[in-house]
Amino acid sequence: MTNNNLKIPDLLNNLEIDLKIIVAARKLNDPLMIGIHSGGVWIAEQLHPRLKIQEPLGVMDISFYRDDFSQIGMHPKVKPSQLPAHMEGRDIILIDDVFYTGRTIRAALNEIFDYGRPNQVVLGVLIERDGRQVPIKPDCAGCTLRLPAGQRIKLTGPGTLGIEIQSINNVVTAV
């Protein structure tokens, strides 16, 4: 398959524009940006200055909230979440690299609510692909994509970000 649509600078630009529209339309007040470990953090690091957000970027590892712990166990490289203690009543921009089944976002929302009841949460992702399994959907995406089952998208980083589409047979890369 071709990857002409998967240029990271373009996807980031699209996402930035959409997020700015949403921030204005939904009147987000002093928003806190949170990236989901690890790809979501890399994307959030790019967006954080572009959206001129004052507060340091929050980092979230959702390993302890996953719904597949009893099937596959602990994620091998779990990292501490770095979130401010006061999230009660906050406006939050949640960032991830790839939206697929929606289960990661379900876990992330649960973790956020354990820190306090946010005012609103906006979800932005670099790539939204098909395959949702729970009724959760991003508010905006750098692009949407249909992929055959058995293929997955992986963001590589953190230096120069790249996108790999992995399947059993081949690995296609784009930067």
Partner 1 sequence: MKDLQLNKEGRLKHFLTIDGLNKDILTEILDVAESFSTMPAQKVNKVPLLRGKTIVNLFFENSTRTRTTFELAATRLSADVLSINIAASATSKGESLLDTIRNLEAMHVDMFVVRHAISGAGHFIAQNTAPHISVINAGDGQHAHPTQAMLDMFTIRQYKKKFDHLNVVIIGDILHSRVARSQIQALNVLGVKEIRVVAPKTLLPQNVESLGVKPFNNIEQGLEGSDVIMMLRLQKERMTSALLPNEREYFKCFGLTEERLKSASHDAIIMHPGPINRGVEIESSIADGSQSVILQQVTNGVAIRMAIMSLTMQSKGDVS
Contact status: 68 vs partner 1 (CB under 8 A): no
Instruction: Please identify which residue in 34, 83, 126, 155 interacts with partner 1, judged by CB under 8 A.
Output: 83
Which is closer to partner 1, CB of 36 or CB of 126? 36
173 - beta bridge partners?
164
Minimum distance from CB of 41 to partner 1 (Å)? Answer: 15
Residues 1-60 that bind partner 1 (CB under 8 A): none
Residue 16 to residue 10: CA distance in whole angstroms: 10
Minimum distance from CB of 107 to partner 1 (Å)? Answer: 9
Region at 89 (left for phi over 0; alpha for psi -120 to 50; beta for the rest) = left
Given the structure tokens 């004052």, which residue do they identify?
54
Residues 100-159 that bind partner 1 (CB under 8 A): 110, 113-116
Sheet containing 152-156: give its strands across: 152-156, 162-166, 171-174
Judged by DSSP in three states, 2 sits in coil
List residues near partner 1 by CB under 8 A: 61, 63-65, 69-70, 73-74, 76-85, 87-88, 110, 113-116
